[in-house]
A = this chain, B = another copy of it.
Amino acid sequence: MEQLPELTAGQYSLVYNAMSLTIAAFLGSGAFFILGRNFVAPEYRKALVTSALVVGIAAYHYFRINFSWEAAFELEGGMYVPSGKPFNDAYRYVDWLITVPLLLVELVQVMNLSKEKSRNLITVLSISAVLMLLTGYFGEVDKSSTSIMSSRGLWGFISTIFFVIILVKLVQEIWGTAKEETGRVRILVRNILLLTVLVWGFYPIAYMGPFFGLSGAASEVFVQVGYSLADITAKAGYGLMIFAIARERTLQNYSESEAQAA
């Protein structure tokens, strides 16, 4: 288990409020994906249901992370000191194990690929995502490693291989299809792929923190707030971009009242 640092009231609250912001963003965007289903044509509603599942599952995990954070500290003379109860960071990995494959499924669901191509792509992406996260978790457990040649470094390297497989598949199959399209859909798909690369890039950086000797209060706060903002972008923001793609495709083929009546 990780050794928690002593935090000032401001540091503790910043993390606490970032977690609460994340829960609010997930619940709000989830309600939007459910209530907004009718704004897209029937063939894209699967993707909105998937988006709602992602943020719903993530909201559940953030509630638990938030409770765990609260229990892990005690207020003593104006400072938040570790209470002895562990802060259970593993919730994040459990969450990602379910939500990351679903995020990839969402994207495939708005791409208008053939049924067979969709199925193959979902299989490859999901398996790669699960392997990326499992191997990453094996390394995460070893918090004491400060060397990149440790087991943490080795597992991190293996995990990265699966991350690269996902990126290659996304560029080949998703961008390979989208670049043939015209108008706003092409731009939206390009943007969601850029967002994925940039935001998913934060997680390996946080993972490598111990290698750079990062520890203590400032580093803990940076990582926790960073995870919160990255998760909001990678799940709620990503879902809104999926909605935008589905909406754009809908308006290319239907009028507003046709789409909502369908």
Contact between chains at B97 and A17 (CB < 8 Å): no
Q: Is A202 an interface residue when CB atoms closer than 8 A count as contact? A: no
In the A-B complex, the 5 residue pairs with the smallest Cβ-Cβ separation, listed nearest first, are A42-B260, A28-B57, A35-B49, A21-B94, A42-B257
Contact between chains at A45 and B260 (CB < 8 Å): yes
Contact between chains at A42 and B86 (CB < 8 Å): no
Q: Given A13-B90, A27-B60, A32 and B53 touching (CB < 8 A)? A: yes
Q: Of residues 91 to 111 in A, which have CB atoms within 8 Å of B's CB atoms?
A: 91, 94-95, 97-98
Contact flags (1/0) for A41-81 with B, using CB distance below 8 Å?
Answer: 11101100100110011001100100000000001000000
Q: Of residues 214 to 262 in A, which have CB atoms within 8 Å of B's CB atoms?
A: 256-257, 260-262
- Using CB atoms, name the residue of chain B closest to A95: B24
Q: Which of B1, B35, B260 contacts A262 (CB 8 A)?
A: B260
In the complex, the count of this chain's copies comes to 2
Q: Is A198 an interface residue when CB atoms closer than 8 A count as contact? A: no
Q: How far is the CB of A77 from chain B (nearest CB, A)?
A: 10
Q: How far is the CB of A22 from chain B (nearest CB, A)?
A: 10
Q: Which of B56, B61, B88, B95 contacts A31 (CB 8 A)?
A: B56
Q: Given A17-B88, A36-B49, A260-B45, A98 and B28 touching (CB < 8 A)? A: yes
Q: Is A85 an interface residue when CB atoms closer than 8 A count as contact? A: yes
| Cα separation A10 to B130 with both chains bound (whole Å) | 21
Q: How far is the CB of A71 from chain B (nearest CB, A)?
A: 11
Q: How far is the CB of A235 from chain B (nearest CB, A)?
A: 13
| Cα separation A79 to B239 with both chains bound (whole Å) | 42
Question: Which residues of chain B come closer than 8 Å to A28, judged between CB atoms?
Answer: 53, 56-57, 98
Q: Which of B16, B23, B98 contacts A88 (CB 8 A)?
A: B16
